[in-house]
Chain A
Amino acid sequence: MTQATVAARAAQTDERTTAVITGLGVVAPNGLGAEKYWAATLRGESGIRSLAPRGMSGYPMRLAGQVTSFVAEDHIPSRLMPQTDRVTRLALAAAELALDDAELRPGELPEYSMGVVTSNASGGFEFTHREIQKLWTKGPQTVSVYESFAWFYAVNTGQISIRHGMRGPSGVLVAEQAGGLDALGHARRAIRRGTPHIVTGGVESSLDPWGWVSHIASGRLSKESVPELAYRPFDHGADGYVPGEGGAILILEDAEAAARRGAAKVYGELAGYAATFDPRPGSGRPPGLEQAIRKALADAGTPPEEIDVVFADAAGIPCLDRDEATAITAVFGPHGVPVTAPKALTGRLYAGSGPLDVVCALLSIRDGVIPPVPNVGTVPAAYQIDLVRGAEPRTAPVRTALVLARGKGGFNAAVVLRKHRKEEK
């Protein structure tokens, strides 16, 4: 495609363009790589453990989902190490895994035909923690030249774009935990505006002491110290969540372009997306999650009865769990659809969680299994949801899945994934 035709295509939006996911890159606390993560998730293996540094031993909460198996040097060129925070190293590794999985070689594509859209909620926080300490203890002349970009929220998109020579439309969105799904929605928009291949998703990491204390300050963390009990969304005894690091980067492509290049795998279609915002607290109006679900279903042209599983936002905070259960039952009826929350094994990854749940949804579609939430005991009867509990995954044909995410402040996002129609024939 020449520059002129790329530009000309960008002039028109084609709402009928189907966007498909053709590559998965996962960096999760319970597994590096999509298949390892998926196997761990089905086995109910958790990546939640206590933060190791002795200096944090006095902190009131210490449980976090940690990507302990990640050795940055194995994934990141030496030249990039001094200029990147851990979050960017994780994001670069995830992007590389996704590109490899898709067998997509950006260098062989026409220029401007590939972009990067990511979400991130807290930037390169450990990096900036080190630099701000240097600033205030050793002076401005000791601050790294890399601080100017290693911190900001755009760093992952920028570094991925540079590393792989992707010069098409790119972007960065922040909406706390909802932002990862917003990135996917925006990636599909870029495809519909004429850019056939987009690297998209979200990765997070801010578990240094300052970052960690900022997590604690949300007032939403579980006070439980036993890892298995600390994050039990929808459980009777839920008392908060566990934050984590990691996430997922996906390759999203125009289905026709993917077919033309002979993409080896098509995990599914990004069939629907919608985002809403909750009314101002105290307004008396209902929260916006139900609207987000209904709009995403409408966008996908999917009636509720076609949804085979819901990957819940699963805040782990009783009032938010109840609100989510209410939204789900309002659309699907009481116990009307299996609901699961594999993030109970990773912690909440902010921008990382939505894309990681999308990976789960796509692999559920592929394998016909729904991963369980292992540590939930009793779900309040009033929730009226069919939460997939216990040690075993549930075997069920999955053709269409719904993924939900909510961000602190009132952000809601919903994504519908569907088995690719071509695959079904």
Chain B
Amino acid sequence: MTLDDLRRIMVACAGEDEHVDLGGDIMDEHFADLGYDSLAMMETAAKIENEFGVRIPDEKVAELTTPRALLDFVSHVTVS
């Protein structure tokens, strides 16, 4: 899963905040600063689970606060 995949999924699941440029360097931005609340993250996580066949435990969703953390987690569980 790439950052572009994540962008696409996030926009589909929760839209884009008008004050945020998702196309920029967002790897280490907090999702909250990108305009995404916990509901948006739950929807995104569910979509990633369904699309990439990974399992993201409930408590993990709240811990993965940046795109980098989320992508690292997904690639880690996909590889292992």
Q: Do chains A and B touch in the complex (CB under 8 A)?
A: yes
Interface residues of A (CB under 8 A from B): 77-83, 141-142, 144-146
Report A-chain residues with C-beta under 8 Å of the C-beta of B12: 82
Report A-chain residues with C-beta under 8 Å of the C-beta of B35: 79
A-B contact count (CB 8 A): 37
Report B-chain residues with C-beta under 8 Å of the C-beta of A83: 14, 39
Q: Is the interface of A mostly helix, strand, loop or mixed?
A: loop
A77 near B50 (CB under 8 angstroms)?
no
B39 near A145 (CB under 8 angstroms)?
yes
A78 near B43 (CB under 8 angstroms)?
no
Rounded to whole angstroms, the CA-CA distance of A144 and B14 in the bound complex is 11
Report A-chain residues with C-beta under 8 Å of the C-beta of B46: 141-142, 144-145
Known contacts A82-B13, A141-B50: A77-B18 contact under CB 8 Å: yes
Rounded to whole angstroms, the CA-CA distance of A79 and B44 in the bound complex is 13
Interface residues of B (CB under 8 A from A): 11-18, 35, 39-40, 42-43, 46, 49-50
> How far in angstroms is the closest Cβ of chain B from A141?
7
> How far in angstroms is the closest Cβ of chain A from B41?
9
Tell which of B15, B39, B42, B49 touches A78, judged by Cβ atoms closer than 8 Å: B15
Question: Across the two chains, which residue of chain A brings its CB closest to B16?
Answer: A78
Rounded to whole angstroms, the CA-CA distance of A317 and B59 in the bound complex is 56
Report B-chain residues with C-beta under 8 Å of the C-beta of A145: 39, 42-43, 46
Rounded to whole angstroms, the CA-CA distance of A141 and B12 in the bound complex is 17
A79 near B15 (CB under 8 angstroms)?
yes
Chosen A-B contacts, 24 in total, with CB atoms closer than 8 Å, are A77-B15, A77-B18, A78-B11, A78-B15, A78-B16, A78-B17, A78-B18, A79-B15, A79-B16, A79-B18, A81-B15, A82-B12, A82-B14, A82-B15, A82-B43, A83-B39, A141-B46, A142-B46, A144-B43, A145-B39, A145-B43, A145-B46, A146-B39, A146-B43
Report B-chain residues with C-beta under 8 Å of the C-beta of A141: 46, 49-50
Report A-chain residues with C-beta under 8 Å of the C-beta of B17: 77-79
Report B-chain residues with C-beta under 8 Å of the C-beta of A81: 15
Report B-chain residues with C-beta under 8 Å of the C-beta of A142: 46, 50
B50 near A79 (CB under 8 angstroms)?
no
Rounded to whole angstroms, the CA-CA distance of A363 and B13 in the bound complex is 41
Rounded to whole angstroms, the CA-CA distance of A322 and B35 in the bound complex is 56
> How far in angstroms is the closest Cβ of chain B from A152?
15
Rounded to whole angstroms, the CA-CA distance of A18 and B6 in the bound complex is 54
> How far in angstroms is the closest Cβ of chain A from B40?
8
> How far in angstroms is the closest Cβ of chain A from B12?
7
Besides A142-B50, A146-B43, 11 other CB < 8 A contacts?
A78-B11, A78-B16, A78-B17, A79-B18, A82-B14, A82-B15, A141-B49, A142-B46, A144-B46, A145-B43, A146-B39
Rounded to whole angstroms, the CA-CA distance of A83 and B12 in the bound complex is 10
> How far in angstroms is the closest Cβ of chain B from A86?
16
Question: Across the two chains, which residue of chain A brings its CB closest to B11?
Answer: A78
Report A-chain residues with C-beta under 8 Å of the C-beta of B11: 78
Report A-chain residues with C-beta under 8 Å of the C-beta of B43: 82, 144-146
Rounded to whole angstroms, the CA-CA distance of A78 and B11 in the bound complex is 8
Rounded to whole angstroms, the CA-CA distance of A81 and B13 in the bound complex is 9
Rounded to whole angstroms, the CA-CA distance of A145 and B38 in the bound complex is 10
Report A-chain residues with C-beta under 8 Å of the C-beta of B50: 141-142
